[in-house]
Structure 1
Amino acid sequence: MSRNLYALLVGINEYPEPVSRLYGCLKDINAVEEYLLERVATDGFQLKLHKLLDQQATRQAIIDGFLQHLCQAGRNDIVLFYYSGHGGQATTPKEFEHLEPDLLQETLICYDSRTKGGWDLADKELGYLIDKVAKNNPHICIILDSCHSGSGTKDPLLETKVRRGSIDRRERPLNSYIFQPEELETIWLPCSNPEKYRSGWNLPQGRHILLAACRDFQEAKDEINNERRGAFSYCLMETLRNNGNKLTYQDLLRQTNSLLYSYFNQQSPQIEVYSSDDEDDENQVFLDGAIAERQSYFMVSYNKECNDWVIDGGAVHGIPRPSKGETTFLAMFPSNCKDLRDPSKSVGEAEVTEVLQSLSKVEISGLENLTKERQFKAVVTRLPLPRLGIYFDGEKAGVNLARQALKSAHLGKPSIYVDEEQELTKAEFRLLCSNNQYLIVRPNDDHPLVEQIDSYTIENAEKVIRRLEHIARWQTIVKLQSPPTSSIKPGDIKMKIFSEDNKELSQSNGICLEYKYKEGKFSEPIFRLSITNNSDKTLYCNVFDLSGLFAVKAAFFKTTLEIKPNSQPHFSRRLKNSIPKPLLKPGITEYKDIFKLIVSTEDFDAKLMEQDKLDAPREKYQTRSLYKQGTLNRFMDRVQNRDVGSASEEMYEDWYTEQVVVTTVHP
């Protein structure tokens, strides 16, 4: 069954006075029409096009375009309303004041809106029209290249470069609206979440997607790249031209925003989805309606304000700041690349040099003829492994030997796991030298975490540094988090813990497992785990026990699990948790473990993470062709060995982590 694409395109340059003239709107509409003709030729749609330009674009003509043209669309069809012109604001009638906290309604300024007897097309009227079109459930996209953040004062750039009209302060009669006041109450709800709709438009009824040129306090530029065009429309069409027809709305806006930011840093396009909460409309293909597979990535572009290359992810997106020679690396791909897991399609590498709030500066390598107009997709391939900060404290003889051992701990060079921290408040652990003993303790607690080492000798100093490196590897795994570009989300995989009598244990405040008194003695608590894949893709996972004595063991499953989508839960064997006997003797009755779940889209080698409890020697584990060398396997290997080899990955997989603290209690 062929699909129809009903398009209503409105562009206005020549406004009657007193509205200022624009210059790029007709070019915008011509570019959109050209794109639609190419799109239908490729995808086989039947294009039903209606254009209104300049004096044709009266208020009534736009209303008729909705009611007589767009309302013909049926369930399998697509609707596009594209407006390029002035936006504005108008005084809200008293009857609607409860819907507008600022007493101003957002509007589109039609050709005749500011003439005698003319009115803007108010947001409530646009919402009413969208609701009419939505009755037959077509796929609806609304694109507005305008702005309405006027203060009522005249902007010196207004006549040539900004798409914003003045506020209409006339008192508007109720009978000038296209609906009756009682109808409004049934289709309009005040915005309960203003932060969700940051364009300023709030069109709550009729399932649709809105693409707006800017936020409510910004201006939509009417000039870009020395061309009289709407800046938003120009970047939108450039993005579509360079990426084909299979971009999702979310990807389209993101790449458009990135391109626009390379020209202006004060115009941020917005995407707003009006549908039920369980819909995934922003991940539908642009002007299609089909849900596309999500691929998480960052955009790399040149930022004029920073005067540097950046990714559109910063501290708020989970990008860790560079620390002590360690930073984040990303593989770069062409902006139209569809497969971001194939290293052969990568065109370069980006190294994070500075992390800002919502952006990160990067240094690009491996690319020739790099121009500032280019854009790239990027996925994280390597996360920083910062060294563990240790504060050296106490008797000088012990401290001096420990410093000497630290400087030659790695093949005659300084340790790659541990750094001396000069301020106690910044340290994670403290090496306390007291009474001719080395003690590893917390910063504000003198209780030793592992067995003390007697006597200050260079051999013992080297031994305590090795212990600290062991703890550093354990600590790195504890802190291991999902990479910011992972497509595996919370809820895709579920880990549950069950007691001996098969009751699920709540993980909200950690889990407490207690010894039970049976037949005249205390018995270790028995439990088991289950793992469930709730996603639509095959996932690989394993659970690690990070013990209180700094061991790391994949103790729950014999091998990494391969779990098909939406399959039955996978249960571990029944296990006992206990407090080590050397700890029970001095009266320690609580012992903490961390159960860490690691999930990947590719198989991985759990043995790369394992290490014994302290004081047991550990030989470097090596693997040969058992597993593909993906980013997760290489990360695991770096946790233990910190090799910085040049071997390239065979794939860039997604991965995800979560963990729960388990306390074992002996009465």
Structure 2
Amino acid sequence: MQERKFYAAFVGINAYPEGALSGCVKDVLELDLFLREWCAQQEGLTYTPVYYLAPNEADAFRLEAHAAAAGRSVSWDAPTYFHLRERLFGHFETAAAGDVCLFYYSGHGSQTPAPPEFRRRMLETLVCVDSRDPNSPAARDLVDKELAYLLWKTFARKTGVHTVLIMDCCHSGNNTRDYDGEFRFRFVPSSRSQVPFADLLGHGDAEFYTLRDGYADFRIPSYVHLAACRDDEKAQESANGGLFTGKLVEALRNGGASASYRELLQGLALTVGNRAERQTPVAFSQQDIQLDQPFLSTGMRPYRPFFNVRHNARESKWKLAGGAMHGLQTGDLMRVSDGVREVETPLLEVQATSSVLAPEGFDEDSQQVKAVRIRSARPALKVSAPQDGAFPPGVTGMVEIVPAHAAFEIRALEDGAWGLFRTGEGEPLFRREPDAGRLLAGMNVVGNWMAALELQQTSAAISRSDLSFEWNLSAPSILTPEGPQLRYNGDEMPVFGLRISLAPGTKLSECYVKALYLGSRFSILTSLLRDDDNRLAPGHPLELTLAIGDQTYRSIPVGIDDAYARRGVAQINDYLKIIVSTRPFSVDSYRQDSLPPDEGQAETTRDLVPPKTAKSNQPPEWTVFTFRIQCHR
């Protein structure tokens, strides 16, 4: 068996000269103890941690208790600017394929004005123990772009290393209030001037930074980033530790270590949100599919849309973390399970981002209850089937089988397979299937796609005049009132870009934006706007971006699959839905792969690149804008 290593580097800072904290070292020790126990249960995995701590006097007892539980005492270096910049990442230098690397930070977060070479007005920072010490004039905050460079420099040329960042600190914010007097915030204002681009670590490395149109773009290696809050929110802590880390360790000890990152964060969004009105944990990876990996593992698990269910003690109701914004409707039949018990129950009430249901027999304190939709109250896809009874009748998921006169029909083909057709047309919508069950699964994908296309909402609080949509199209494409009409330039694939900003004179002070890209092969892509960076505010526009490898592109390619082109298809219609809300939200439940055409075994994708190419009691206001992306070849 291959011997593997788990490299962990922990930073916990309580003893700041100003703005001292009290729970950061506790966070480190609790997560470290869990990881020690978890690694001890694995075969051939050696745990190798290092620590950069600034404990206060009260931490002495915690360090002693941790030493007794772990069977060894912790030694540490000071979490200074020099150590974090020059030494910490050296711990990962010998990591090889199959190893796991974790960087965990618990302390203050802050901001600094961004140099003009960056598109954003502010950059996020990690506050080192000596960042604000007048006796350390060479020290400053570690800027997020410098952290990105350290990650890239350390891991860009490593293959097979699973890398994770966990940050329990504030990313940004202005005036705040304590949560019931129990929690405070891990944020301090910036006290030193803007760091010039030329002084940032990584400046001058042409492999990392690229200047395009006067702005600096940079490479992002493969890693998973878990953050305690969005970049416009603040992370809360008490003497018992950070709210995020405490709930994270609790979830991991209660079975969350076997969940994917996406599943883990969806659960944390509920448990943290129940304690803090404005703290939303988020996850990010350059390749969105990496969030479907199990926690601290390189194994991949297929993504299955689901919704977390938690009992809300204040309302004495079971609440599901999904609502009308996610395509749910009152009466939808849900299968609810905690891994042991399983029941089917309808949605009783559907609001914008949450729903009410009444599953019986579940522990009200359980963190393991999940639900999947097994039948829609109003299926988006109605299909007529052959009258010989060979195809199973009924309703399942987003599909209803009807006797006749539907816009779609199932046909039995000469080779014994089944195919789904638009009524009156001669080509199957996707690859024919000899098994009726697999065809029905593909039909559900089509039904989900159609339900997403039909998603509509208009709020008086968010109108078209509040937003500015700035398109950038490759020649000879044109912009029509319905959306871009993209055209190939010879064999060159067309591209588009979209920049969204608040319009002059709008009354909106901020809003949150997500995008659904509905591909012509029934894929739904949800990652063109990141969950941790989708706040739209004055001076903070958003751009759609597509991640390919370690590069991020603002020009997004759209192409016609060669299988379609060989059949003479010269035009496709994709759709872009822009969802705008007054509160943060997720659209992960819409994500799905494309269906292969009825020719060969074309690779399914989750993106736009062809296969051959690389919290308040008031419900949020929300509006959906739909654009047709037409491509001609």
Interval of TM-score (by shorter of Structure 1 and Structure 2):
0.5 to 0.7
Contact 1:59–1:120 under 8 Å retained in 2 = yes
Per-residue CA deviation, residues 517-537 of structure 1 (Å, 9 max, x unaligned), is: xxxxxxxxxx575863799x9
Over residues 101-146 of structure 1, what are the superposed CA-to-partner deviations in whole Å (9 max), with x where a residue is unaligned?
Answer: 32x1110001111123120000111001000221223211111111
1:7 aligns with 2:18: no
1:533–1:62: structure 2 CA closer, same or farther, 3 Å change rule?
Answer: farther
* Distance of 2:424 and 2:365 partners within structure 1: 56
Q: Which letter maps to 1:290?
A: G
User: Does 2:102 align with 1:80?
Assistant: yes
- AA in 2 matched with 1:294: Y
For residue 352 of structure 1, the aligned residue among 338, 342, 347 is 347
Selected match of 2:223 from 202, 208, 215: 208
Say if 1:285 and 1:291, in contact at 8 Å, map to a contact too: yes
Once the two structures are aligned, what percentage of the paired residues are identical?
Answer: 27
Query: Structure 1 residue 258: deviation in Å?
Result: 2.2
**2-structure distance, mates of 1:511, 1:385:** 21
Matches within 5 A, 1:153-302: 161-172=184-195, 176-179=199-202, 181-183=203-205, 186-188=207-209, 204-223=219-238, 228-243=240-255, 245-275=257-287, 280-302=289-311
* Secondary structure, aligned partner of 2:117: helix
Aligned to 1:441: none
Task: Tell me how far 1:163 sits from its aligned partner.
Answer: 0.9
2:370 aligns to what? 377
Aligned counterpart in structure 2 of residue 141 of structure 1, from 145, 164, 167: 164
Would you say the 8 A contact 1:3–1:46 is kept in 2?
yes
Which residue is equivalent to 1:105?
A: 123
Distance 1:2 1:176, change over 3 A: same
Partner secondary structure for residue 99 of structure 1 = coil
Paired residues for 1:428-439 under 5 Å: none
Q: 1:532 aligns with which of 426, 431, 437?
A: 431
What TM-score, normalized by structure 1, do the two folds share?
A: 0.52
Tell me how far 1:385 sits from its aligned partner: 6.3
Instruction: Give the partner amino acid of 1:311.
Output: L
Output the CA distance in 1 between the equivalents of 2:302 and 2:308.
Answer: 18
Partners of 1:122 and 1:5 in 2: CA distance: 26
Change (3 A) 1:304 1:319: same
User: Residue 150 of structure 1 corresponds to which residue in structure 2?
Assistant: 173
Residues 437-456 of structure 1 deviation map (CA, whole Å, 9 limit, x = unaligned): xxxxxxxxxxxxxxxxxxxx
Q: Distance in 1 between matches of 2:359 and 2:84?
A: 48
Q: Paired residue for 1:640?
A: none
Q: 5 Å matches for 1:454-603?
A: 482=398, 527=426, 529=428, 532=431, 539-541=437-439
User: Could you tell me whether the CA contact under 8 Å between 1:333 and 1:346 is conserved in 2?
Assistant: yes
Structure 2 residue matching 1:52: 3-state secondary structure: strand
Secondary structure of residue in 2 paired with 1:72: coil
The 2-side partners of 1:68 and 1:307 are apart by: 51
Once the two structures are TM-superposed, the CA of residue 240 in structure 1 deviates from its matched residue by: 0.8
Work out the CA distance in 2 between the residues paired with 1:175 and 1:203.
14
Question: Counterpart of 2:133 in structure 1: which amino acid?
Answer: T
Task: Say which SS state the counterpart of residue 195 (structure 2) adopts.
Answer: coil
Partner of 1:125: 146
User: 2:166 is aligned with what amino acid?
Assistant: I
What residue is the counterpart of 2:519 in the other structure? Answer: none
- The count of corresponding residues between Structure 1 and Structure 2 is 391
**What residue in structure 2 maps to residue 328 of structure 1?**
332
Q: Is residue 139–residue 289 contact of structure 1 (8 Å, CA) maintained in 2?
A: yes
The answer to whether the Cα contact below 8 Å between 1:8 and 1:65 also exists between their aligned partners in 2 is no
Question: What is the alpha-carbon distance in structure 2 between the residues aligned to residue 66 and residue 495 of structure 1?
Answer: 61
SS for the counterpart of 2:237 is: coil
**Could you tell me whether the CA contact under 8 Å between 1:89 and 1:105 is conserved in 2?**
yes
- Please say if residues 496 and 529 of structure 1, whose CA atoms lie closer than 8 Å, have aligned partners that are also in contact: no
Q: Does 1:43 find its partner at 2:42?
A: yes
1:26 aligns with: 25
Give CA deviations for 1:434-478 in whole Å, capped at 9, x if unaligned: xxxxxxxxxxxxxxxxxxxxxxxxxxxxxxxxxxxxxxxxxxx99
Structure 1 residues 261, 495: closer, same or farther in 2, change over 3 A? farther
- Matched position secondary structure for 2:129: coil
Q: Residues 347, 171 of structure 1: CA spacing in aligned structure 2 closer, same or farther, 3 A cutoff?
A: closer
* SS of 1:127 mapped into structure 2: helix
Report deviation, 1:256: 1.9
Residue pairs, 1:386-465, within 5 angstroms? none
CA offsets, 1:621-642, max 9 Å, x none?
xxxxxxxxxxxxxxxxxxxxxx
Kindly state the Cα deviation for residue 188 of structure 1 after the two structures are TM-superposed.
Answer: 4.1
> Which structure has more helix as a fraction of its residues?
1
**CA displacement, residues 364-401 of structure 1 (integer Å, 9 cap, x when unaligned):** 3234xx43565511233454369xxxxxxxxxxxxxxx
Cα shift readout 1:207-235 (whole Å, capped 9, x = no counterpart): 11111111121111113xxx621111111
Unpaired runs of at least 5, structure 1: 193-201, 322-326, 338-344, 387-476, 484-493, 514-526, 546-654, 659-667
> Quick one: distance in 1 between partners of 2:212 and 2:411?
41
Q: Give the alignment partner of residue 67 of structure 1, picking from 61, 65, 89.
A: 89
CA–CA separation in structure 1 for the residues paired with 2:113 and 2:52: 27
Tell me: CA distance 1:150–1:498, structure 2 relative to 1, closer, same or farther (3 Å): same
Which residue in the other structure is 1:52 paired with? 52
Q: 1:250 corresponds to which letter in structure 2? A: R
Q: Distance in 2 between matches of 1:362 and 1:238?
A: 25
* Amino acid in the other structure paired with 2:165: I
Shift of the alpha carbon at 1:15? 0.5
* 1: CA distance, partners of 2:296 / 2:114: 33
Change (3 A) 1:190 1:89: farther
- Cα–Cα, structure 1 residues 354 and 188, in superposed 2: closer, same or farther, change >3 Å? farther
Per the TM alignment, residue 34 of structure 1 is displaced from its structure 2 partner at its CA by 0.7
Q: Which whole-Å CA distance do the structure 2 matches of 1:237 and 1:530 have between them?
A: 46
Counterpart amino acid of residue 373 in structure 2: V
Indicate the SS of the match to 1:288.
Answer: coil
Q: Deviations over 1:335-356 (max 9, x none)?
A: xx3xxxxxxx325554422101
**Which has more radius of gyration?**
1
Residues 1:256 and 1:60: Cα distance change in structure 2 (over 3 Å): same
* Structure 2 residue aligned with 1:90: 112
**Cα separation, 2, equivalents of 1:23 and 1:10:** 14
Measure the CA separation in 1 of the matches of 2:178 and 2:264. 32
Alpha carbons 1:247, 1:286 under 8 Å: kept = yes
- Alpha carbons of structure 1 residues 532 and 172: separation in structure 2 relative to 1, 3 Å: closer
Letter paired with 2:107: G
CA displacement, residues 482-510 of structure 1 (integer Å, 9 cap, x when unaligned) = 28xxxxxxxxxx9999999xxxx998xx6
Deviation at 1:287, TM superposition (A): 1.1
Could you tell me which runs of 5 or more consecutive residues in structure 2 were left unpaired when the two chains were aligned.
56-77, 380-392, 400-407, 444-591, 596-633
Q: Distance in 2 between matches of 1:544 and 1:31?
A: 45
Contact 1:262 1:304 in 2 (8 A): no
| Alpha-carbon distance in 2 for matches of 1:378, 1:214 | 25
Tell me, in whole angstroms, the C-alpha distance in 2 between the residues paired with 1:98 and 1:534. 53
In structure 2, the residue matched to 1:566 is none
Looking at structure 1, the residues matched to 594 and 200 of structure 2 have their Cα atoms a distance apart, in angstroms, of 54
Q: Which one-letter code corresponds to 2:250 in the other structure?
A: E
Determine helix, strand or coil for the equivalent of 2:41.
Answer: helix
1:66-88: CA deviations, max 9, x gaps? 43212221222111000011110
